[in-house]
Structure 1
Amino acid sequence: MSGSNSSSSSGRSMLRTLILVLATTLIGVNSVGATPATQSSWTSALSQVYETTDRLPLPNLGNIVAHDPNIVQHDGNYYLFKGGHHVPIFKSDNLNGPWEKIGTVLDQNSIIDVGNRSRPWAPTTIYRDGMFYCYYTLSTHGKRNSAIGVATTNKLDGSPWNDHGAVIRTGKGPGSDIHPFSETNAIDASFIMDQNSNKSYLNYGSFWHGIWQLPLADDLLSIESPENPDAVQLTFIPNQKIRPQEGSWMSYHDGYYYVWFSQGKCCKFGESEHDFPARGREYNIRVGRSRDIRGPFKDKDGESLVEGGGTIVYASNHGIVYAPGGLGVLAGNDSSRDILYYHYLNTSIGFKDGDAHLGWNWLTYEDGWPEVTTDSAGAIFGIPSWLYLSILLCFWLYI
């Protein structure tokens, strides 16, 4: 009898321990990133330039240094591409890492003679019909002499990529005198496919005349009708000399196409409070939507994106997260929500470009408008993790 009681007591103890482990895990999932900001010689000055509200959730930690990250989900793994020497590629089975470097897109400098050919920016990789296409940027900060190139491979295992050269050029080079390339900046490419026609489009652009969209040729290696491109402007800030919009992304959800972009000062914040813009002028993530892939796009207040509109979805928060941007969206499915990922600066680490880290959040949609959350809220049999947590703790108290 005493042996039975001992066995029963041991079983309950093990069950209570297991429940505590599960509950702790759920708490951790919803509180990652809550690192207290450390003091510096100019913390008081910074409090005037970054938002300290807790209205927005903290990011889930990607645990990798990355500026303008791009993530592809394929065969049960995540593949992260980022700007850097020959465009490095990392692999993980979890967005929280750990990440393993598996190679680079380019095995030598880009064949495009523009900018820093050894360190392309802002890659975007897509998978179509058994082939991976990586669109990358070559430019110099603050210059319009830029190009978007493309490289391909059929495997993400460290195999060589084929560099096909430039898709579009601005500033100098073939085709750069044709509108809209004659006044835009060929950086920050992203890709979208029409849900009905399967037609593919390239989005690009920055400070110079906003963000634009072009139809791609069927081979995805060039634009359609390069002598007379069917270009559509997606975003613009009128009546201002400086128009800090870039890093576009386009996603699709429940009948709407969403144009995402980063607005504000992205980088080169330096080590002095004098290098920081006024509050709200740093990078933040904005969005507009349309039923048509070609627009027009409007924000939540009905303002056109080409008239300066754009609903803020994520921005500096808690005094910890600063200047989030360089974003992408991973599409969900019936059992998992869409995911917004981005780079951000953690005020407890530093503000240099090399301090940018990967962060991510689940997306929920209210009346068709995306909002960020730390909770998967539906990824586990459609039941939010807070409800699981409540059930587990009640069961723990009962036993």
Structure 2
Amino acid sequence: MVRTFSRFLALGALALAMGVSAKAPEADAPVLNDRLTGALAPTHDPVLIREGDTYYVFNTIGRYIGIKTSHDLVHWQEAGSVFAELPEWATKAVPGTEGIWAPDIQRVNGEYRLYYSVSTFGSNRSAIGLATAKTLDPTSKDYGWSDKGLVVQSTHADDFNAIDPNLVIDEKGGQWLSLGSFWTGIKLFAVNPETGKVDAGTRPVSIARRPAPAGAPAPVEAPFILNHGGWYYLLVSYDYCCKGVNSTYYTVMGRSRDVKGPYLGKDGSKLMEGGGTILLRADLEEKERFRGPGHVGAFTDTDGTTYLVYHAYDREANGAPTLRIAPLTWDADGWPVAQY
């Protein structure tokens, strides 16, 4: 240490003698999250997609699916909502429901397919619906959402909860819908590619679960499957959202060569046994502003960059759920690393 310090002094003296100043290394450039501005809150359960020169975030806000837009991923503004009222089928399928939750959006067969959740808090009498649109641009003559109704539902007789949908297309073009929250965890259903729906009688595959110790809750929810480099990465949220700064949400991941699993973390731990590798988690409470990062979506841009979009609770804004976006890099073993 003495030798290192003496060398530092010598270099400093040499710099002064040469008429230049000794500078500390420049700080790292701000990450994307540090530059976000505009209509960032409230935002829950966001998903990201791009059409033309506009990025769209669809999210849970109020009673309906809210829309935010940006031309640069930095400056965001509100852009209305998908629905003006609850679909009639939804109020019949889930009596007592007052809103629509947790959207997912993909472009499939020349149209945008937006999946959404209908439920009442804490119940697994739930349903997932589908709405389609030719374009996301509200100034286009072709703009408009068409509700296609029920995709799949759960009742008190089922061991899963039909919320938090995510559509993934496998390497052979097969379509799958992951979903789930609490109960026996995350399920995967085969989807009819023509209708975008789950055919009657289709049985789900279990892909993630957290066995509960002594009957205590062990939450797992909000699945998203990212297809990259010959692997399927299952991203899920553990623990509790929706508690403001007291939220304990964090995001874990596992991967598999088969979309149906099994999904394993870096250490070989099984997501079917509550394992996995942490992707997003808030730092120590006294150091971290944004709490409970979770309910992620992933989007790969035209330049090949993949972004995670998620919500977290802002300690400096009374715990408001806030939009967050983190570019992904990939380590030497092919695992994603979030720049957040």
Q: When the two structures are superposed, what TM-score results if normalisation uses the length of structure 2? A: 0.82
Q: Paired residue for 2:20? A: none
Q: 1:286 offset after TM fit, Å?
A: 0.7
Q: Paired residue for 1:322? A: 291
Of 347, 354, 372, which aligns to 2:315?
Answer: 347
- In the alignment, the residues of structure 1 paired with residue 326 and residue 64 of structure 2 have an alpha-carbon distance, to the nearest angstrom, of 28
Of 241, 252, 255, which aligns to 2:230?
Answer: 255
Question: In structure 2, do the counterparts of structure 1 residues 165 and 31 end up closer, same or farther at CA, with 3 Å as the change threshold?
Answer: closer
- In the alignment, the residues of structure 2 paired with residue 188 and residue 117 of structure 1 have an alpha-carbon distance, to the nearest angstrom, of 15
Letter matched to residue 108 of structure 1: E
Of 166, 169, 184, which aligns to 1:193?
Answer: 169
Q: 1:108 offset after TM fit, Å?
A: 2.3
Letter matched to residue 30 of structure 1: V
- In the alignment, the residues of structure 2 paired with residue 110 and residue 117 of structure 1 have an alpha-carbon distance, to the nearest angstrom, of 11
Q: Paired residue for 1:83? A: 60
Q: Paired residue for 1:390? A: none
Identity %: 30
Please show how residues 44-193 of structure 1 align to structure 2 within 5 Å: 61=36, 63=38, 64-65=40-41, 66-84=43-61, 85-101=63-79, 103-111=80-88, 112-113=90-91, 114=94, 117=97, 119-158=99-138, 159-171=143-155, 182-193=158-169
Verify the 8 A CA contact 2:32 2:325 in the aligned structure 1.
no
Verify the 8 A CA contact 1:83 1:119 in the aligned structure 2.
no
- In the alignment, the residues of structure 2 paired with residue 320 and residue 269 of structure 1 have an alpha-carbon distance, to the nearest angstrom, of 12
**Residue 187 of structure 2 is aligned to residue 207 of structure 1:** no
Q: Cα deviation per residue 1:159-181 (whole Å; 9 max; x = unaligned)?
A: 33111211111126xxxx5xxxx
Question: In structure 2, do the counterparts of structure 1 residues 373 and 109 end up closer, same or farther at CA, with 3 Å as the change threshold?
Answer: same
- In the alignment, the residues of structure 1 paired with residue 78 and residue 252 of structure 2 have an alpha-carbon distance, to the nearest angstrom, of 31
Q: Cα deviation per residue 1:222-254 (whole Å; 9 max; x = unaligned)?
A: 213x22x14211101124331211111010111
Letter matched to residue 77 of structure 2: W
> Structure 2: which 5+ runs fail to align?
1-25
- In the alignment, the residues of structure 2 paired with residue 316 and residue 128 of structure 1 have an alpha-carbon distance, to the nearest angstrom, of 35
**Higher RCO (C-alpha under 8 Å, 6+ residues apart):** 1
Q: 1:105 offset after TM fit, Å?
A: 1.7
Verify the 8 A CA contact 1:82 1:123 in the aligned structure 2.
yes
Verify the 8 A CA contact 1:208 1:243 in the aligned structure 2.
no
Verify the 8 A CA contact 2:86 2:100 in the aligned structure 1.
no
Letter matched to residue 308 of structure 1: G
- In the alignment, the residues of structure 2 paired with residue 106 and residue 32 of structure 1 have an alpha-carbon distance, to the nearest angstrom, of 29
Q: Paired residue for 2:260? A: 294
**Residue 249 of structure 2 is aligned to residue 283 of structure 1:** yes
Verify the 8 A CA contact 1:108 1:118 in the aligned structure 2.
no
Indicate the structure with greater strand content. 2
Question: In structure 2, do the counterparts of structure 1 residues 269 and 89 end up closer, same or farther at CA, with 3 Å as the change threshold?
Answer: closer
- Which one is further off, 231-240 or 294-303? 231-240
Q: 1:27 offset after TM fit, Å?
A: 6.0
Q: When the two structures are superposed, what TM-score results if normalisation uses the length of structure 1? A: 0.70
What is the aligned-residue RMSD (CA, Å)? 2.2
> Structure 1: which 5+ runs fail to align?
1-23, 34-59, 271-275, 375-399
Q: Paired residue for 1:235? A: 208
Does the residue aligned with 1:295 lie in a helix, a strand or coil?
Answer: coil
- In the alignment, the residues of structure 2 paired with residue 239 and residue 109 of structure 1 have an alpha-carbon distance, to the nearest angstrom, of 35
- In the alignment, the residues of structure 1 paired with residue 189 and residue 196 of structure 2 have an alpha-carbon distance, to the nearest angstrom, of 13
**How many pairs align?**
299
